[in-house]
Amino acid sequence: MNRQPSQPETRPETVGGDNTSTTPVAAHTPRSALGRTGLSRGALNVAFQAGAFLVALVITTLVLLVAGAPPFAAYGEIVRGAVGSLQSLADVTVAWVPLVVCTFGLLVTFAAGLWNIGVEGQIMLGAVFATLVLRLLQDTNAPAWLALTLAISAAMVGGGLWAVLAGVLKAFGGVNEIFGGLGLNYVATALSLWLIFGPWKRPGVGSMSGTEPFPEQLWLPQFSGLRLSPWGLGLAVLAVVIVGVALSRTYFGLKLKAVGRNMRAAFLLGIPTWQYVLAAFLVCGLMAGLAGGIQVTAVYHRLIPSISSGYGFLGLLVAMLVRYRALWAAPVALFYAALNIGSIQLPIVLKLDSSLAGVLQGVLVLCVILAEGARQRLLHRPVSELPAPQEPGRGAPEHATPVEDAL
Amino acid sequence: MDVEIRDIHKRFGAVRANAGISLRVTAGTIQGVLGENGAGKSTLMKILSGFQPADRGEILLDGRMAHIGSPADAIRAGVGMLHQDPMDFPAFRVIDDFLVGRPGGISLSPGQARRELQAQAEHFGFSLEPNREIARMTVGERQQLELLRLLWQGAGVLILDEPTTGISAPQRETLFAILRQLAAEKKTVLFVSHKLDEVERLCHRVAVLRQGRLVGEESAPFDTAQLVRLMFGKEIVVSAPRSTAREETVLTLEGIEVEDARLHVGPTSLEVRAGEVLGLAGMEGSGQSLLLRVCAGLMSPVAGRLLLDGHDMTHRPYRSFHDRGVAYVPAARLEQGLVPGLSLTEHVLLSERHRGPLIDWKRGRAKTARRIHDFNIRGEPDNTVESLSGGNQQRALLALVPDPARLLLLEHPTRGLDVESTVYIWSKLKQRCTQGTAIVFVSSELEELLRYGDRVAVLFSGRVSAPVSAALTSVEELGELIGGKGLEPAA
Amino acid sequence: MTGEAILAGLSGVLAASGPLVFAAIGETISERAGVINLSANGVIVLSAMGSFAVGVATGSLLLGFLTGLLIGALVALVVAFGNITLRQSQVALGFVLALVCRDLAYFLGNPFMGASGPRLSSLPIPGLSRIPVVGQLFFAHNLLTYLSFLLVPVAWYFIFRTRQGLVLRAVGERPAAAFARGANVNRLRYLYTVLGGALVGLAGPMFSLSMKAGWKGTISGLDGIGWIALAITIFGAWSPLKVALGAYLFGLLQWLGVVLQPHLSGIPSQVLQVAPFPLMILTLLLVNIGNAEWVERILAGLPPRIRPAAAGLLRATRVSPPGALGVPFERD
């Protein structure tokens, strides 16, 4: 997982943020309910979402009380840390960039019914590839724009390759993508640690602070005085828009959906299923690699051991929270980025571990899932409305596709 | 045991499956429950056996009110049900399957159960090997095992839901003999069927259901015309369609052999011509589905050659078959044919060849509206497929078959459909044949095979007969072939 | 390496595999009932922290271990409620809980970092531990390790030789049929999910109160073990004997890695540290590849003389899960 025994948790080390007011009420149902109860259903949906959010807050407050911490001071600190200054707002945006890119990548794999747990590793491979290119080019006469373009392209290739590896394991080896992805995460961590302490170590002795920073001309340009790079932000928005359009308006997105919901039927309809499974992994890997490339070129300017900062797992949580719908993913990702940034000062100010943010983020998703279940039960609505990615253990179809899995 | 049900109601969403059904059956009676598919027979029986709760209504056993809220209650009350699809555990051995649900302490005492199983089996003339895997048994044998288990659990009321689907003619005769014997022992038998001839031969009394209501009760001897009127509410005239077979050959099998873990099929050699309809008959699990899947390129044959329009397609993947105009329509509509959660429009878009990556939703909807009209589907373009009824799902599935298609492979194309849907779907299929499409279909309905097929090939334990002409074969003759008569034993 | 050292090492392997045995057999039980509890990894971290905290606070080992049990059971209860009653995805629930529990452990464990707590002492069995070789291997451990030894045959006997075990398998194989025979499917699924979760929860205190007593923000080898346990459940084909074999094999390989490290100077330590995970992928590959469609196609193309042998070989290695694993049950 993102937290290796040997490596301390590092999150982007600044303050800033936005809107705790954007309650991730996110998910209302786009489809019109059966006319008769339409209105009250809409209201009920909002009520359930709001209830889920409140329950999550109550649980987190209880956790704070158990830890003997003052809840309101802690929440206040998070809000201040996230939206207290221009710098902190910029930092939230810096955190939002990789998070939203990974989330949209995950929307693609979720559309195909896949649990791509390997995003963390894909980010790392992207970062490793970007670092490799920059290291090769930093001592040449290559112009900075070319070096940076090549680095980010290489990052996407690296992330894509790592994701396709998990895809091949699933499609041709029957290895469930959850285990394939997890295993490859650990391998990616080992690879970057080995590089940082071995071949790419700083002059003298390698350290957890990462490789030697690149010369400043190889940094993506930043807004003056802020750590935010307009280029990084622009690339992220562009990628997110492309993926959003691909999912909702193209045959590619529709076929992915068919593969994700019923692989056997999709196959019989003539869709090349394993190719689409691999394509979903590839797109997600490209996105994760892009995130890793941006972290290297625009944020850290070097390879550090925890370059993925847990954004892969956080992206999974965001995707689950918005119930795999693209529309709400961007604002909710912003909220989650704000929580991350807001909690950074907790250890210093209140002597609390910053993993409080993770608790709140996770409990929120849990409550939304349970509230959705309660709502469906109450309204006797068929479950089929959601794209519910395949359960890994579900009995695979007899034939037709190589993508049979057993958990 | 006397059974009385009073004013049973049950609805699923907008469908009223049972609308106030009352019925009395005295001990020792074989009571037929007749009705076409969707009439509410199965629902009523599931309520009686505790599988589903009724919305309203009462059940009395031997005059006493019985509270049957679960199968556990039903078993205690002495009601046992034999489901159409045997409710057993394919991954288990016979003896383990037999033991599931048997009350007792911690120990399984399999030795004693084994002896009792064998004694029971002998009593009824079955041969059931306790260590056999259920997955390797025929539907008929699995049914026998279920029957033994129910009697062993002490069932005084036996419900049989369409028990003759998928079993051989001799197995059916054995079953009928046993049911008569059980009735003589004062057990109550409820025999659910949509097959008139079976009900007429076996039952003492018949209750006819239509659209969730009890529309009539008759006693033996029965007036067939009267039963038909009760079942359908009107006369249905079905005319045998004319053959549209042409000269050119579409599909050629040369010594094809296919196998899975359980069964080896073949060698098979046959030809199907353009416009021709070939039926594949046989007990379920005799290899029809394997053969059909080979013809679709979904499985590779282990020997032989397969040609489409003269091109060798052996070992080619499904995609190549698909590109050559082969369409495979599976029996499990929602599981294999359609994508739950996607709308009709999305299905139509997926089934079409398209230019460019972007979807034109407006055109897609218009096209879907036309198909809905052409195929008489009750639904809107934006409806998801799982919200359609079974008959409409089947029509939707056919509406997705590319037009023109060269070869249509259909697995139980009308299973679970009412007579009108069946007639409509075949009229659509025959229309395709006049354009030169060849059809190979699997069915367990003998009448369907003979009425709509030009020729019928019979499979028995993986052996394939030379096709017989449908026009020259009677239902009885076909039944005998399916039971294994006329096929030489394997060398 | 002396015989003495090898013996001590193997004895250590048996003890060190204890948490894996508990977790994987716990998971086996809930998956046999049809419920995948993906939360195992987070649960083990949280129960390690929680039981250590209770141990420190009360000084009682017993209360510490009970805390671990309870945490596992409670988290499993959430999974069961969300999946069985509310019909939400087992994977989503389990995965979120895996993340939440871990963060919760780090957050709540902060004050206990570096505290000194009780530690389960070893309890050589008088007499038996004196037997040469066998005594040191099997009878010179602590109580929990003995329990892990006992759990294997007991769980196997329960699942395959008792009436309740038969019904458990039936519920996971085909819930509708089990229901038709009078089983209360969802109640049994609750029961076995919680029971399995409790066993998973025991793996935590085996670290923090026994093998690597203490809490330093985490424990080396702790995070990640839950995922390995889930993989071993598959590798062991949902049978306690094979699952235990997988767990011990895993322990053995890890020990070999440590022993051989000085001799493999070319391989960086980071690589050996993560070696269990590629190993996990490889084992899953081994048991699943026989199910792949392209393998079947190749098989069909083989000449008839070698085909049965090849098919037999594939069938022998591949595993198939309980028929209704991950599939919710509804009466209609």
pLDDT recorded at residue A397? 31
Chains in contact with A via at least 3 Cβ–Cβ pairs below 8 Å:
B, C
When pLDDT is averaged across residues A290-309 and rounded to a whole number, the result is 93
CB–CB contacts below 8 A, A to C: 209
Lowest-confidence pick of A319-328, C40-49, C293-302: C293-302
- Are the beta carbons of B338 and A257 separated by less than 8 Å? no
State pTM to two decimals.
0.87
Q: Do C296 and B106 touch (CB under 8 A)?
A: no
CA separation for the pair A140, C8 (Å, rounded): 56
**What tokens does B265 get?**
């099929």
Name which of C324, C7, C294 is nearest C176 in CA terms: C324
- Among the partner residues B71, B107, B299, nearest to C181 by beta-carbon distance: B71
Say whether the ipTM exceeds 0.85. Answer: yes
Helix or strand holding residue C199 (H, E)? helix C185-206
- Tell me how far apart the alpha carbons of residues C222 and C204 are, in angstroms, rounded to a whole number: 8
pLDDT of residue C76: 97
Give the residue-averaged pLDDT of A204-226.
Answer: 84
Name which of C177, C307, C315 is nearest B89 (Cβ-Cβ).
C177
Please compute the mean of the pLDDT values over residues B231-249 and round it to a whole number.
72
* C132 vs C134: CA distance, rounded Å: 6
Gyration radius (Cα) of chain B, Å: 24
The angle formed by the CA atoms of residues B212, B216 and B220, to the nearest 5 degrees, is: 130
Which residues of chain B neighbour C32 with C-beta distances below 8 Å? none
Q: How big is chain C, counted in residues?
A: 332
For residues B468 and B471, what is the distance between their CA atoms, to the nearest angstrom? 9
Closest CA to B152 of B118, B189, B177: B118
The model's pLDDT over A4-61, given as tens digits with 9 standing for 90+, comes to 333 333 333 333 333 333 333 333 333 333 334 455 777 888 888 899 999 999 999 9
Tell me which residue of B153, B138, B51 sits closest to B99, measured CA to CA. Answer: B153
Neighboring chain C residues of B303 at a CB cutoff of 8 Å: 304
pLDDT at A402 over 60: no
Cα A206 to Cα A97, A304, B246, distances in angstroms = 29, 11, 80
Strand partners, B82: B160
How far from B326 is each of A268, B332, B346, B348, B437, CA to CA, in Å? 10, 18, 21, 17, 10
Q: Nearest residue of A to residue C234 by CA position?
A: A407
Where residue C293 falls among pLDDT bands split at 50, 70, 90? Answer: confident
What are B42-70's pLDDT values in tens digits?
Answer: 889 999 999 888 999 999 999 999 999 89
Interface test with B, best of A251, A381, A385, A394 (most B CBs within 10 A): A251
**Dihedral-angle region of residue B416 (phi above 0 means left; psi in -120 to 50 means alpha; beta otherwise):** left
Q: What's chain A's Rg over C-alpha atoms?
A: 21
Q: How far is B96 from chain C (nearest CA, A)?
A: 8
Q: Which of B72, B89, B302 sits opposite C300 (nearest CB)?
A: B302
Q: Is pLDDT above 90 for A388?
A: no
Q: Which of A250, A262, A264 sits opposite B358 (nearest CB)?
A: A250
For residue C115, count CB atoms less than 10 angstroms from its CB and return exposed for 0-12, middle for 13-18, buried for 19 or more. middle
**DSSP 8-state class, residue C325:** T
pLDDT in tens, B147-179: 999 998 889 999 999 888 767 778 888 899 999
B112 part of contact set with chain C, CB < 8 Å: no
Specify which residues B305 forms β-bridges with.
Answer: B254
Residue C27 neighbours by CB under 8 Å, 6+ apart: C37, C40, C196, C200, C229, C230, C233
- Residue C221 pLDDT more than 90? no
Residue C130 touches partner B, C-beta closer than 8 Å: no
Counting one residue from B and one from C, how many pairs have CB atoms under 8 Å apart? Answer: 87
Name the burial class of residue B13, with classes exposed (0-12), middle (13-18) and buried (19+) by CB atoms within 10 angstroms of its CB: exposed
Nearest to C292 among A366, A395, A402 (CB): A402
Res. B241: pLDDT tops 70: no
Residue B267 has pLDDT above 80, yes or no: yes
Residue window 381-420, chain B: list those with CB within 8 Å of chain A. Answer: 384, 386, 400
User: Which of B298, B340, B357 is facing A262, going by the closest CB pair?
Assistant: B340
Sign for the CA dihedral angle at C48, C53, C56, C60 comes to negative
DSSP helix/strand/coil, B413: coil
How many whole angstroms separate alpha carbon B22 and alpha carbon B32?
14
A376–C292 C-beta distance less than 8 A: no
**Does position C267 have pLDDT exceeding 90, yes or no?**
no
Q: Subunits touching C (CB < 8 Å, at least 3 pairs)?
A: A, B
Of A197, A320, A393, the CB nearest to C92: A320
Interface of A with C in 194-223 (CB under 8 A): 194, 197-198
What is the CA B193 to chain-centroid distance, rounded?
A: 12
Computed from CA positions of residues C137, C138, C139, C145, in that sequence, does the dihedral angle turn out positive or negative? Answer: positive
Residue A183 C-alpha, separation from nearest chain C C-alpha, in angstroms: 5
How near does any CA of chain A get to the CA of B361, in Å? 8
d(CA A167, CA A187): 16
Least confident range from A85-94, A215-224, C238-247: namely: A215-224
Fold observed for domain A88-346: ABC transporter involved in vitamin B12 uptake, BtuC (1.10.3470)
Q: State whether B70 and C184 contact (CB < 8 Å).
A: yes
Is A197 in Cβ contact with C268 (below 8 Å)? yes
In this predicted model, which residue has the larger pLDDT, A19 or B476? Answer: B476
Residue of chain B with shortest Cα separation from A387: B341
Q: Which residue is listed with tokens 């019923």? A: A262
User: Does position A399 have pLDDT exceeding 70, yes or no?
Assistant: no
Please, is A277 exposed, middle or buried when counting C-beta atoms within 10 Å of its C-beta (0-12, 13-18, 19+)?
Answer: buried
pLDDT band at B89 (very low <50, low <70, confident <90, very high): very high
Name, of B103-107, B169-173, B284-288, B298-302, the range with top average pLDDT: B298-302
Residue B360: pLDDT above 50?
yes
Domain ranges within chain A, ordered by starting residue: 43-69+352-379, 88-346
For C123, half-sphere exposure in the C-beta direction (CA atoms, 13 angstrom radius) is 10
A217 Cβ contact list (under 8 Å, min separation 6) = A144
